[in-house]
Structure 1
């Protein structure tokens, strides 16, 4: 049984550097006299080391309006955070649960969807009856009955109220997220020191 070669620390660093430049594991294995699996273990160990030591290797980029940037800078300044990158990093670290889908919001939206679907079916039935009446010649001079008129008015009120409620629901959720984010920034402003 042959003994496998042990990589030195310098060889491991060279493998990581060359792999980052696009050299394949097979080529690296042949050059350093090890198996491709040993190269993969070396690369995985380096990834784990970077994660464990919090070495930043990923970048985030986004475009915002000047107003959004000014508002973000104001929040950072009020929390005593000196750089945007530090503010974003702290928001990401504190995001546990802040940016996940809101089950209550989803349930409310489902309720509104079901209600609008029900009303939409009622309107479709009214339109179908009016179309049939028009085709048979009964639609000439046909006026809405008091019941149909009340239904149409109710539909209009419902749609306007639903739109207002949805807008209010979304505003409340956004405000709650804003408060949570500001609190997270303040909390982490002192934790990093």
Structure 2
């Protein structure tokens, strides 16, 4: 029994050392899309209004602009998730009416080391195809947790929320989101 405990401690120590030497995880990716019965301009107007994310992502308690830039490249926001837990995000690419990318540049209380998210809207039939691509790395041992499922859920939640807000003008609550994910099941999909 004593040998087993020493062996387990050795494996954990080797793992911690390896993470320190190699700098943690390689980026992982999640991509998803959803069809929205609203014009591309309408979806873009809501999605690109950077400080309204709490209107369609219920895990964000509130969000507000940080700094002097109020639109486009360089605009930043702080998303408060719960007391003491937040992320600050900044727009790193901006293609008005079509796409933007953002990065998490500061955080507290989350396991993410690095994260970039790309958003895109494009006309599709009588509506809009909205796409999200998340690239992320976790901190330290968190890389060994089954995070992909959680990130996939975040991508879907984000898309279902923007769909509902775009189509109805109604802000999302956590309870409403769960019902909508079932209702819109055929409208969204995870991409390879």
TM over 0.5: no
- Comparing both structures, which one devotes a greater share of its residues to strand? 2
TM-score of the aligned structures, taking structure 2 as reference length:
0.25
| The structure with more radius of gyration | 1
Greater RCO, CA 8 A, separation 6+: 2
TM-score of the aligned structures, taking structure 1 as reference length:
0.25
